[in-house]
Amino acid sequence: MRYHQIIVVGGGLAGLRAAIEAKMQGLDVAILSRVHPVRSHSVAAQGGVNASLANVPEGKEDSPERHAFDTTKGSDYLADQDAVFAMTEDAPIRVIEMEHWGCPFSRTPEGKIAQRPFGGAGFPRTCYAADKTGHALLHTMYERTVSYDIPVYEEWVVLSLIRDADRCRGVVAMNLQTGDIDAILADAVVFGTGGSGRVFGRSTNNIISSGSGMAVAYLAGVPLKDLEFVQFHPTSLFGNNVLISEAARGDGGYLRNAKGERFMEKYAPKAMELAPRDITARSIQTEINEGRGFPGGYVHLDLTHLGAKRILERLPAIRDIAIHFAGVDCIEKPIPIQPGQHYFMGGIDVDKDAASILPGFYAAGECSCVSVHGANRLGGNSLLETIVFGARAGKAAARYLAGLQGGTGNTPEGRKLADETLERTVLQINRIRRAEGPEDPSDIREKMRSTMIEQIGIFRKQDQMEDALVKVKELQDRYTRIGLRYHGLKYNLDLLTNYELGLQLMLAEIIAKGAIARTESRGSHFRTDFKERDDANWLKHTMARYTPDGPEMSYKPVTITKFQPEARRY
């Protein structure tokens, strides 16, 4: 049986940053990741990462407090403000640290890190490396991991947490190359397992953003928070939903309907195309729904007025994506776009040190809900969250280890517990691996995704959502009778994706129940039958706890320190 002081699950930015921090504190830490770290979704991030560096003349007045205000207002006041301040105050430190570690940021003429305007931000605050910021950050972070000689269990998937009544003691994971399932004891576990975008259709996320990390934590008794808040990005390519970064609008792109009108002036006359994502996505969808879109359901993102030089310098990847995936050169023609599922504001409930209610278990990045994004995340705050709370998770885990009473998990008692969890998990996985039922899991997956995007999407309504919940329950029932096409051990992706499908159906149920219960509109959760925000009743976080009969829902207060809720106008 293996043992490490700390196991970090996830090779994206949050996981790698947590592992580096633990290693810097002198601990034995290992990373475990379903894919090679640089294939994590973080690599696909385009637009940038926020920090109030005040590097450009238009942003001279910027400060962590102003960043905190924009973030809180953007969150529709659901963010916990102590956590928001922790993030915005750490932001300049973490971004400059990435610069010192070698991240090739774009530069101002004076050689400082360049900053571009982003939606919902009062100042140009988004630091970027052209439109490949995630690529630049993740490769820098991975090089750092290599230089620290941190071992990586590559292409291993965590299936369950090992825990007793008092604390987390490790993970049970499957080696995809062999199909072997093993227990890894650890004194602390950090999850940086990313988002759950693929529960929805029309997602900008990579196919591995399955949400299995959230579900594994949930099944081990750690509550999930605010799962009904799902971000729909305004601009993904029509038809295949490859993301077109907000940087395109930050750099001056226009949104136009089929009549050629810049329709954002109706919805956000001051901020225009740089209104926050929830408002912009709804505006686009309204234009489409009311017949002012193009046939099939899209509008145009027009960059032609920016000129070839600016596009080639600042948006080269956007141009490549539009050429290869839409057959459009954006120097000459507008890009057809539609909103797409993009980000989970909710996730594993943790505090500002990334700690959950289960001692020894931490989560950071998109899988977690601190909550800094509340009901709507601002662009550029997610990459930031990964490096800020990744580092905080590593620190907090190290502190926890230093104070651990009762020694390490690598004891006969710990090993016995691990054996039991391993045995249970193997039984469960083998049941799925050998499944020969009549139901086709890919059909169940497609129905889950289309139900979620169509009935619990940008616009939501009671009867639609209730119907979606009934469908999800039916799919859960059909799932008990699935059949797999491949029953082997090695690289059984049929097993992995269908194991995950069961978990995703569980998340879908939580999302539906949270959204049905929340009879208000706030941030990304917009109900056509309850159009107003209702602070008197709903200024609170939704908590979902696992029970064998389905999620048990409860609520938790929002931490408000400085900014009193007010109406959001842009």
Query: Site residues (CB under 6 A) for ligand FAD?
Result: 9-15, 32-35, 37, 40-42, 44-49, 133-134, 157-158, 192-195, 204-205, 208-209, 212-213, 243, 245, 343, 365-367, 379-383, 386
Q: How far is CA 371 from the centre of its chain?
A: 12
- Rounded Cα–Cα distance for residues 2 and 185 (Å): 6
Q: Which residue type does 384 have?
A: L
- The number of C-alpha atoms within 13 Å of 564 and in the hemisphere containing its C-beta is 0
244 or 539, CB closer to ligand FAD? Answer: 244
367 or 448, CB closer to ligand FAD? Answer: 367
168 or 539, CB closer to ligand FAD? Answer: 168
Residues near 498 by beta carbon (within 8 Å), at least 6 away in sequence: 432, 435, 441, 482, 484
Do residues 166 and 14 touch, judged by C-beta distance below 8 A?
Answer: no
Q: Is 2 exposed, middle or buried (0-12, 13-18, 19+ CB in 10 A)?
A: middle
- Rounded Cα–Cα distance for residues 426 and 495 (Å): 13
Question: Per the residue annotation, which of 144, 167, 202, 249 is the catalytic one?
Answer: 249
Give the 3-state DSSP-derived string for 383-405, with helices as H, strands as E and coil as C.
HHHHHHHHHHHHHHHHHHHHCCC
Nearest of 1, 5, 8, 7 to residue 365 by alpha carbon: 8
Residues near 366 by beta carbon (within 8 Å), at least 6 away in sequence: 14, 194, 195, 343, 344, 347, 382, 385, 386
12 or 441, CB closer to ligand FAD? Answer: 12
Do residues 363 and 215 touch, judged by C-beta distance below 8 A?
Answer: no
106 or 204, CB closer to ligand FAD? Answer: 204
Residue 249 annotated as catalytic = yes
- Rounded Cα–Cα distance for residues 424 and 419 (Å): 9
Token code pair at residue 377: 């995340």
Residue by residue, DSSP assigns 223-255 as PEE-TT-EEEEEEEETTT--B--THHHHTT-EE
- Can you give the C-alpha Rg of the chain in angstroms? 23
Tracing tokens 């409930």 back to the chain, one arrives at 349
Which whole-number Å values give the CA distances from 207 to 42, 182, 437, in the listed order? 13, 25, 25
Q: How far is the CB of 531 from ligand FAD (least distance, A)?
A: 28
Tell me the three state secondary structure of residue 298. Answer: strand
Question: Per the residue annotation, which of 34, 163, 233, 282 is the catalytic one?
Answer: 233
315 or 469, CB closer to ligand FAD? Answer: 315
- Rounded Cα–Cα distance for residues 224 and 214 (Å): 7
9 or 54, CB closer to ligand FAD? Answer: 9
Do residues 56 and 108 touch, judged by C-beta distance below 8 A?
Answer: yes
Q: Which residue type does 321 have?
A: I
Q: How far is the CB of 364 from ligand FAD (least distance, A)?
A: 7
Strand partners for 49: 127
In degrees, to the nearest 5, what angle opens at C-alpha 122 toward C-alphas 120 and 127? 85
192 or 409, CB closer to ligand FAD? Answer: 192
Q: How far is the CB of 118 from ligand FAD (least distance, A)?
A: 8
Q: How far is the CB of 494 from ligand FAD (least distance, A)?
A: 16
Residue 163 annotated as catalytic = no
441 or 478, CB closer to ligand FAD? Answer: 441
Q: How far is the CB of 306 from ligand FAD (least distance, A)?
A: 18
42 or 81, CB closer to ligand FAD? Answer: 42
Do residues 373 and 381 touch, judged by C-beta distance below 8 A?
Answer: yes
- Rounded Cα–Cα distance for residues 118 and 35 (Å): 30
Q: Please list the active-site residues.
A: 233, 249
